[in-house]
Structure 1
Amino acid sequence: MDFKIPTWATRLFTPTLLLFFGVFSSFGQTILERQEILLEYNQQKITSLISEFEEEAKNTALRLDEVSKTTRWNKTEKLRDGTEVSLNDVGEDGTLLYYTTLNDPTNQVSRAQSLYSNGTLNLGLDGSGMQVGVWDSGIALNSHQEFDTRASAGDTSQEVSPHATLVTGNIISSGMKPKARGVAFGAEAVTHNWTRDKIEVAEAAASGLLLSNHSYGIKSDRVPDWYFGAYIKVSQDWDKIMYNAPYYLMVNAAGNSQRSQDNASPIYGKTADGFDLLLGFTTSKNALTVAGANTKLNGKGELLEAEVAAYSSLGPIDDGRIKPDLAGDGSSIFSTTSQSNSSYGTSTGTSMAAPGVTGSLLLLQQYHNELFGHFMKSATLKGLAIHTADDVGTPGPDYKMGWGVLNAKTAAETLQNEGFTTLIDESQLMQGETYSLEVEALGTEDLIISVSWTDVEGQYINRGDLNSTTKALVNDLDIRVIQNNETNLPWKLNPHRANDTATKADNSVDPFERVDIKNAKGSYTIVISHKGELKNGFQDFSLIVSGAKISNCSLRAPENIELGSLNEDSLVVNWSEAEETLFEVRYKSSSEASWKSDLITENNIQLANLIIGEDYEIKVRTICTESKTSEFSEVLRFTFNGTETQILENETFSFSGSLGISVYPNPAVNELKIDGELSQDAVYSIVTSSGTIVKKGSAVEKVSVTDLSSGLYILVVQDYSGIQSTKFYKN
């Protein structure tokens, strides 16, 4: 049978779905996938940038040799607490810039666990086939038993770093010692010394690298006050790399200087308040800067409470940008160490928070490629992480933990629901253009709309102005969400009142804007525009919408299944029409053990080559997205006799006895109560629409459903008097 797939349905034919129907697919970043990314890169510009960095590195090396002869500081140091320090650069004002690792010597919690094979979402993600770059004070001990052959050196450095080994383990450790398992425990890591970080990253990004981790930064007690929160040349250089390689994202640690009192002239408050301590590439616009959080989660991975860790460096950036971007857990992380191939240790700090985020982002890239056959641009990945972070404290972002604590589970669900209740659109705004889109709110959750973009490097470089508010943003996009002449504005912070709660106003400094609408009802118009002239005449952007009715597809099982026209060896089966719906049809003869499957966009199918006198069965379900499918309809059974075909009794569930059960509340949010005459030995099972049992337990107790994804489920109860089932919906 031939049929044409309409445009709206093509998103449903993901590699995973095709694999389910017998088509082979492999995941991970293959050579072909890297080549597809590089087709969108301007290799000439990246090559020119690498040459610029190479020349700069030669000149810097000469200057460092000279100044190291006259300074009281050593070129490399290892402090008593294990912190590694290295003289790595000279600021344009002559300040010696020392790089330092960002562990703070003093249970790994990762929402990424929900993405594993045994996780809540059961996605089977582990980072296999994916690669991450790690730049640190040296290379990791790549022979460690936790790395197998998945860690390698990316440069000629022979310096094995204890800190780099901790960081790398936090990302990729296999879990030979279960407590040490990394977030993306099947991924590969290429580790490097930080000496030539910009050059090596630019080269790796030009070859298709998606993510790199940088758990180090400029030592905060050896720079003048104007450096804090300033957009300097190193900030600009990293923005250049990311703008010219738009699939590459740098993840960096915010630093551990909150209580250092190193900045005597913060843009806000007193030195003891801990604000205005971000330095160097942590002030880049396009990178993702990670704070450390103390978190408390329940056994289901839900965030109960969170606060910024006492060590974590706070924003703001002097121009008012929201940094750090978000937070991860960096408290007492157990990981690999470099003493031996089987040694382990515990460390705390933003050095440990950053790789937890990096590993989670790597899994989200893997999942996006699995679902849609390609990777996200870095603006989309960064935007997704911020869009779905768990907001903590007062509503909106702050200068302590940015937009909140990373939630890989919510981010993955946003990808799952794309085209159903969420929208992810990578688009482009040309000079003078306006992007407009109308969406309808679901009405059952907040409507959240965000726009993210990788901006051109800032044109202004601070060379000594204390707390300069000259903005680094070049292409200033604006998002507005309008309903009935009422305009909803994005969040904004004020660096001069850094402790104030966020307000909703025009934002002219951040390359990410988000609009949150509580209790949204009805239709809204999303408008994305720009101020002034767009550098290069255009700006790519990524739009993310959640809490909207993107598709008209319904999760109800198809109804009114009936036989249509017949001839000598075929017949047509019809069912009720449904908008924007893909149907899975399963059918077989009664003598066959397994079902045949077809994907159909029309509300009918022609069954051919039927045998006179044979009994057949057919059932249908709707597919809205990969994770959103209805139950199958009742089975229609018939004996094929040409024009005399006879419909047999439809298949129904039969049970011994009658329990007369019911459940409430339905729909359920947190828990279900099973009502009925049950013995103390009654047990329940919760079954998905695809037949997978996801929970079991005692039927006489309340059933927690907080760990279930939204959707339709079947509750099956078994007792001495028989078996009964009922449906319920999880909100």
Structure 2
Amino acid sequence: MDYSRLSPNRVYSCVLMAITMLSLSAIQAQSKSKIQHIQSKYNKSALAKVQDEFSRDFTKKDITLRAFAKNNGLKISETLNDGNQIELVDIGADGTPLYYSTFSDNSSMVSRANTLYTGGALDLGISGQGMKVGVWDAGIALLTHQEYSSRAIEGDNTSEINAHATMVLGSMIAKGIKSQAKGVAYNATAISSDWKADKVEVITAAANGLLLSNHSYGIRPDFVPDWYFGAYIQVAKDWDRIMYNAPYYLMVTAAGNSQKLKFNDAPIYGKTTDGFDLLLGFSTTKNGINVAAVESEIDNNGNLVNAAVASYSSHGPTDDGRIKPDIAGCGANILSTQSSGEKNYDTYSGTSMAAPGITSAMLLLQEYYDRLNGDFMKASTLKGLVLHSADDVAAPGPDYKMGWGVMNTKKAAELIVNNEYSSLIIEESLAQGETYSITVDARVGEEFLASVSWTDPVGDFVNKGELNSMTPALVNDLDIRVTKNNVVSLPWKLDPRNANAAAVKGDNLVDPFEKIQLDNATGTYTITISHKGKLTNENQVFSLIVSGASTSKCNAISPSEFTMSSTYSDAIDISWEAIADSFFEVQYKKENDVEWNTKFSETNDVSLENLVNGGTYIVKLRTNCTTNIFSEYTEAFKFTFDGVLTDDPFKAEAQEVVVISDKLKFSVHPNPTTDQITIDGPLSDNAYYSIVSSTGTLLKKGKAKYNDIQVDDLSSGFYSLTIFEDGEQQSMKFIKN
């Protein structure tokens, strides 16, 4: 584009005012003057003739198709089980019926957010209940739409209802009255505001506890000089400043749809047609998340089968080489709410639809983290968790098209629940001159990843006109290293001067997120966080995320080898075999009581107090490796307290252990196991078993009686074994090492 014809005042005006919606790139490109220019090139009489022919053909074809469908037992149109709508539109030359079909590429499925729902693969009952998200856009959504009328509120005083804002909000919180339009966080509430005073309003909202906001808009790309693309300009710095000063708040932006539109004539790498170096404005923030759109296929188990960046989605990098976009989500053919009526819907595509899918999936992760920990993650932790757990696509490591890959909400949620067991999520701070180190053991057969993420302060640098300036925007440069036997592993990094090349491992000098990946890791590793130079404010809060490794040697197996004794007139002592790095939960009650008494012990013994002489009591206990990882309870046993006990009730004939259960009785050994398990118990020939993964996937089934089950083909982790016999069923956990 030749900008020599634009006066400086005109360029300045375009930068300030040319803000537009990103998902509707065709509309964005077709201003009134451009439409008039196109029309001047058409042969109007020929076009009218074609239109007339098509109209007459359509009328005749309608009669032909109805007869064809009736004669062949076909339907003219229907809604399939997967929600896609089809309609017979033509008959092929070979007699094949040709149907049009919607391609419903649901954003909750692509991000795997649906696995957190009730009935999803993880079945967590997470849907955004009680959570609030912000949406800033060209105007406000139609707040009275049937999908979210009571859960969407106006955030400012604008009265302009906007179609783009309505579709974005619907993709986030729509209840699902029309099932295919269900939003990702369909029970959440939202603030809908226009973009005029977005920074001012976000500061107020963040100060009042807002965790996430979605911004599916940006600077109009066809009106700005080339140096703007990829540049760290004042608006990016302003948003970084907001996020640094509100460390629990995270801004999510859309990458834009300019990949094929040739707006940047001087990209930092390649030709204009390559699609690189197209990010503008607040898309280049250090601390926010910028979202690309992906075209992908997900199987029934939530696994990514294939993925590629959408043909319209704008590529990075930033001029200083930071990895942008950060993450990719679904933007293809998403059914959402429409502003033309309270019961109206339409289908949309673009990064404007990919971004809200990511925003609301992250809202679900915050809900889940809060449920388990009673607190929310800092923005750097949430961002780090999403980038850490993303599905890598194509070549190993990040790229400038989809960032760290396709968001995997399921994997992120599993890291949350397994924290301090097979994963670590740590929020710490680094003072000037300090280093932070931990030692972990790799879990054999699992991918070892270690990441550091931080919200970076603003510095003095702002690009004011230099084309492709590579001056780093990063202020506090933290480093992550993983060491074993004096061998140091380095994080991934990219080179903006060779933007299409695969990522390499080295010293990353520009990104406020670094990730190290180790293949076939075994043994013990030291993870170290350090910094270069002087830290602004002499301190930097950071988030460390580790998967495929642990600092605990705990095995979540039920306690065994009990003994019981008493030295008091109203108490007994119970002990059991010690289990490393664990604590224990003991529940007991009087036989006919409803409520259980609960005691926790960091040692392998406990005293049950305030017992009544002659009373009969029931006891059960389990091993806890963390607050979220624990074994099954032992079988409940009962005893009668007769004052000072002289015999062990577990061994005395009169105090024989009684199983308080009418369910099936069986045992499994060894547990944990490495290659096989054996089922023992009074089972009939009708008994059969199933093995289900921690994500709810059926892996094995077969006859249960006298059966040795090979499990050497399973990866390390927790599994549920269920025995079925004559209408009864009983389950227990086992661990595969």
Normalised by the size of structure 2, how large is the TM-score? 0.79
Give the counterpart letter for 1:108 in structure 2.
N
Q: Secondary structure at the match of 1:128?
A: coil
| Number of the residue aligned with 1:729 | 735
The CA deviation string for residues 241-298 of structure 1, in whole angstroms up to 9 with x for no partner, is 1111111110000001111111121111111111111111111111100000111111
Superposed CA deviations along residues 37-91 of structure 1, whole A, max 9, x for unmatched, are xxxxxxxxxxxxxxxxxxxxxxxxxx899969xx99999999995559999xxxx
Aligned to 2:115: 114
| Residues 122 and 696, structure 2, Cα contact 8 Å, conserved in 1 | no
Q: Distance in 2 between matches of 1:675 and 1:269?
A: 66
Aligned to 2:517: 516
Distance in 2 separating the partners of 1:281 and 1:517: 33
Q: Residue 312 of structure 1 aligns with which residue?
A: 313
Q: What amino acid sits opposite 1:713 in the alignment? A: S
The alpha carbon displacement at 1:552 in A equals 2.9
Matched, 1:711 2:718: yes
1:201 matched to 2:202: yes
User: Is the 1:664–1:674 contact (alpha carbons within 8 Å) kept by the matching residues of 2?
Assistant: no
Identify the range of structure 1 (286-295 vs 187-196) with the bigger mean alpha-carbon deviation: 187-196
1:445/1:106 CA distance change after superposition, 3 Å:
closer
Contact 2:637 2:660 in 1 (8 A): no
Q: Does 1:131 align with 2:137?
A: no
What does 1:552-567 align with in structure 2 at a 5 Å threshold? 552-567=553-568
Q: CA deviation at 1:611?
A: 3.8
Q: 1:366: how far off?
A: 1.4
Whether contact under 8 Å (1:151, 1:188) holds in the other structure is yes
Q: CA deviation at 1:724?
A: 8.6
Q: 1:319-330 alignment to 2 at 5 Å? A: 319-330=320-331
Distance 2:458 2:585 in 1: 49
In the superposition, relative to structure 1, how do residues 600 and 74 fare at CA in structure 2: closer, same or farther (>3 Å)? closer
Query: 1:328/1:679 Cα in 2 relative to 1: closer, same or farther (>3 Å)?
Result: farther
Q: CA deviation at 1:421?
A: 1.8
Task: Mark the CA change 1:661 to 1:505 in structure 2 (over 3 Å): closer, same or farther.
Answer: closer
Q: Give the Cα separation in 2 of the matches to 1:680 and 1:429.
A: 62
Partner amino acid, structure 2, of 1:202: I
Q: Are the structure 2 counterparts of residues 152 and 714 from structure 1 closer, same or farther at C-alpha, using a change threshold of 3 Å?
A: same
Which residue number corresponds to residue 649 of structure 1?
656
RMSD between superposed Cα atoms in Å? 4.0
Code of the residue aligned with 2:267 in structure 1: it is P
1:659–1:207: structure 2 CA closer, same or farther, 3 Å change rule?
closer
* Structure 1 unmatched runs, 5+: 1-62, 88-104
Any conservation in 2 of the 1:451–1:479 contact (CA below 8 Å)?
yes
Whole-angstrom CA distance in 2 between matches of 1:77 and 1:729: 48
Segments of 5+ residues of structure 2 without an aligned counterpart are 1-8, 33-102
Tell whether 2:374 aligns with 1:373: yes
Verify the 8 A CA contact 1:715 1:725 in the aligned structure 2.
Answer: yes
Q: How much has 1:507 moved relative to structure 2?
A: 0.4
In the TM superposition, what are the counterparts of 1:175-190 in structure 2 within 5 Å?
A: 175-190=176-191
Q: Which residue of structure 2 aligns with residue 475 of structure 1?
A: 476
> Please, which moves more after superposition, 614-623 or 130-139?
614-623
Amino acid at match of 2:351: T
d(CA) in 2 for partners of 1:356, 1:288: 12
Amino acid at match of 1:259: K
Once residues 302 and 519 of structure 1 are traced to their aligned partners in structure 2, the CA distance between those partners, rounded to angstroms, is: 21
Aligned to 1:362: 363
Q: Secondary structure at 2:625's aligned position in 1?
A: strand
Residue 680 (structure 1) shift: 11
> What CA distance in whole angstroms lies between the structure 2 residues aligned with 1:328 and 1:353?
5
Deviation at 1:568, TM superposition (A): 3.0
How far residue 401 of structure 1 moved from its aligned partner, in angstroms, is: 0.4
Aligned length: 645
1:173 Cα deviation (Å)?
Answer: 0.8
- The 1:67–1:385 alpha-carbon spacing in structure 2 relative to 1, beyond 3 Å, is closer
Which residue number in structure 2 is paired with residue 166 of structure 1?
167
Q: Which amino acid aligns with 1:599?
A: F
Assess if the C-alpha contact under 8 Å between 1:715 and 1:728 holds in 2: no
Residue of structure 1 in register with 2:394 after alignment: 393
Distance 2:287 2:475 in 1: 12
TM-score, length of structure 1 as denominator length: 0.80
Describe the superposition over 1:516-561 as per-residue Cα deviations: whole angstroms up to 9, x where unpaired: 1112122211221111122222221111111112223221211211
Q: Give the share of equivalent positions with the same residue, in percent.
A: 50
Write the distance in 2 (CA, Å) between the matches of 1:585 and 1:631: 12
Larger radius of gyration: 2
Inter-partner Cα distance in structure 2 for 1:169 and 1:542: 32
Does structure 1 retain, via aligned residues, the 8 Å contact 2:11–2:225?
A: no
SS in 2 for 1:195: coil
Q: Which amino acid aligns with 1:237?
A: D
Could you tell me which residue of structure 2 aligns to residue 505 of structure 1?
506
Alpha-carbon shift at residue 334 of structure 1 (Å)? 0.8
**1:274 and 1:309 mapped to 2: Cα distance?**
12
**Residue correspondence of structure 1 range 446-465 to structure 2 within 5 A:** 446-465=447-466
Q: Secondary structure at the match of 1:424?
A: strand
Q: Is the 8 A contact 1:663 1:675 kept in 2?
A: no
Residue correspondence of structure 1 range 19-38 to structure 2 within 5 A = none
Correspondence for 2:243: 242
Q: Which residue of 1 aligns with 2:598?
A: 597
Counterpart contact for 1:679–1:719, Cα < 8 Å: no
Q: Provide the residue aligned with 1:34 in structure 2.
A: none
| Kept after mapping to 2: 8 A contact 1:665/1:673 | no
**Amino acid aligned to 1:107:** D
Partner of 1:284: 285
Change (3 A) 1:558 1:442: same
User: In the alignment, what sits opposite 1:413?
Assistant: 414
